[in-house]
């Protein structure tokens, strides 16, 4: 489950990732990877396709982390 408070919470990690902290971005990716994969499995019902969804989603998140405005929760964004 995602954390929202403290130095390792979603908001703190997101703020650090937006400033270029690769470790913070990695922590967010590791945290949300299982959830994104489960979503891909529900949508595709195929492990290989779900893995593609996971890869595409995490790559898009990494590329756009600096543009995330915080209009939604981190979990919704992922």
What's residue 56's pLDDT? 97
Are the CB atoms for 39 and 76 separated by under 8 Å? Answer: no
What's residue 31's pLDDT? 96
The dihedral through the CA atoms of 6, 71, 43, 30 has a sign that is: negative
Tens-digit pLDDT profile for residues 1-60? 445 556 689 999 999 999 999 999 999 999 999 999 999 999 999 999 999 999 999 999
Domains and CATH numbers, the chain: 10-69 (1.10.1740.10)
CA distance linking residue 31 with residue 44, whole number of Å: 21
* Backbone phi, psi, residue 45, to 5°: 55, 30
């Amino acid at each position: 489950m995602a954390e929202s408070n403290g130095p390792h919470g979603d908001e703190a990690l997101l703020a650090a990732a937006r400033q270029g902290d690769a470790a913070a971005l990695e922590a967010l990716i590791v945290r949300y990877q299982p959830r994104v994969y489960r979503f891909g499995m529900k949508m595709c019902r195929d492990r290989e396709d779900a893995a593609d969804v996971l890869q595409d989603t995490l790559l898009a998140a990494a590329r756009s982390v600096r543009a995330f405005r915080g209009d939604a929760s981190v979990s919704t964004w992922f």
